[in-house]
Amino acid sequence: MGTLLKCNKPLFSIRFSSFPNSLRSVQLRTHSFNNPKRRNPIRRCFSSLSPSSQPLINGTTLDKMDGNQQPGSPSSELWLHNTMSKKKELFMPKVEGKVGMYVCGVTAYDLSHIGHARVYVTFDVLYRYLKHLGYEVCYVRNFTDVDDKIIARAKELAEDPISLSRRYCDEFIQDMVHLQCLPPSVEPRVSDHMPHIIDMIKQIVDNGYAYRVEGDVFFSVENFPEYGQLSGRKLEDNRAGERVAVDSRKRNPADFALWKSAKEGEPFWESPWGPGRPGWHIECSAMSAAYLGYSFDIHGGGMDLVFPHHENEIAQSCAACKQSNVSYWIHNGFVTVDSEKMSKSLGNFFTIREVMDLYHPLALRLFLMGTHYRSPINYSDVLLESASERIFYIYQTLHDCENVLSQHDKGLQESIPPETLNVINKFHNDFSTSMSDDLHTPVVLAALSDPLKTINDLLHTRKGKKQAMRIESVAALEKIIRNVLSVLGLMPTSYSEVKTAFNNV
């Protein structure tokens, strides 16, 4: 069998998708989180920390609250649940101080629903927290712009499939901006990576793991004994891995398509097997290898991708390169409606746009973070209303802080009372402990209550107004809350803007 030369290295020098790197102004009714500085041209995969993801306090005094954790020197341990081992594991990157992370992106043929929002908010939180800890992160999130569903939708609308997909890719980017998800380091598209997909399929065929049937190429699961290691499924329990009906030409019903021969009226690319297009699974194996190499740290997505998509990715990547390895497989739970998974195929979904027409985007983000990422979350107007009220309370409190502190910008002492320091230290410890324990965001959000209550007591109660160093306490509390919200992606562009938006929704 053949082997890939240097298969532990990226297949090619990093190229970037044709997406614009500067954000256009986006308006969704009353929501306006336009910040042209948010998306800068990507120069390299590993970049320095952004100002919004700076570490919190490194100690207990105000002079240490501005300390910055330098990239490449992580500040604390992080435990993550690994789907492969079915347990929490201490995160240890392959290269000290650097993290390679690949998250499967959307198949762009319609507006995204809040099940998608949960996936990308989850991994945005992980991305932000890794950067907060001091890691340099190369975050790759793809777009599937060549797929059966896209082709079917394009036929319905009498539109070019690539053009339709490009339009919905742009719509997805707008949704992510409103949810304050940071742009990934790279956003590759399938249509831009055909040579690399074809090269990987050729390598799999040469290594004896795939076979050709007329113009199609199928992966042979029987030739890969480790198949099922991620999902725990036995080969005899598996069914076809592609998104179409079982093909009787296959040697085993579980075999899946690597390359599909061209059909009339469908987009195609030339290949050694004739004109056609790739199967669903091969794209992510090829693009992750292209940008991160065959061996990298984190591969993520929704729980529905464990089988068949991620199982098939493992098989393909290992078939192309024996040294292929992903250290941590991370999957988020479903968004459910009446205890049933939300999905387009079931027709029980709400688009992100529909929800943002009724609630502020950051209320939706808070709602999604209010349940641990691996647990299912049931869509509920009651819960969204509660999240909306909570986020308004947080921003109203910080807005009050801003008004008071603007009148005392000089002459503040550096020390703060022991009672305030205790509140700050407890909140900081709750944040660090919970986030480092598999990203327990619900605990962090609950822990916000004490510092917020302390601020409101200091600002609005008779007893609080009489306390010594009241303004210094408010400033210190406001700072750590703001820093935590930044790491969680919940920091608005301005409190007054949010207040206006809430009043208009």
257-313 pLDDT tens trace: 999 999 998 999 999 999 999 999 999 999 999 999 999 999 999 999 999 999 999
Tokens of 222: 């029987």
Enclosing H/E stretch for 178: helix 161-178
Tokens of 189: 């598209």
Sheet holding 340-341, edge to edge: 340-341, 335-337, 377-378
Q: Do the beta carbons of residue 61 and residue 99 sit within 8 Å? A: no
Tokens of 261: 């021969």
Q: Do the beta carbons of residue 22 and residue 183 sit within 8 Å? A: no
Q: Do the beta carbons of residue 136 and residue 46 sit within 8 Å? A: yes
* Cα dihedral sign, 199-203-206-212: negative
pLDDT score for 497: 66
pLDDT score for 45: 54
What does CATH list as the number for 79-357? 3.40.50.620
d(CA 144, CA 106): 6
pLDDT score for 72: 53
pLDDT score for 211: 98
Can you give the pTM of this predicted structure?
0.85
d(CA 142, CA 122): 16
SS (H, E, C) 21-51: CCCCCCCECCECCCCCCCCCCCCCCCCCCCH
Tell me which residues of the chain have a pLDDT lower than 50: 1-44, 46-68, 240-244
pLDDT score for 24: 27
- Residue among 208, 210, 204, 254 nearest 234 (CA): 254
Non-local CB neighbours of 402 within 8 Å, separated by 6+ positions: 478, 495
Q: Do the beta carbons of residue 257 and residue 215 sit within 8 Å? A: no
Enclosing H/E stretch for 206: helix 194-206
Number of CB atoms found within 10 A of residue 451's CB: 22
d(CA 465, CA 218): 73
Enclosing H/E stretch for 126: helix 114-132
Cα 279 vs. chain centroid, distance in angstroms? 24
Q: Do the beta carbons of residue 251 and residue 219 sit within 8 Å? A: no
pLDDT score for 348: 80
d(CA 260, CA 201): 12
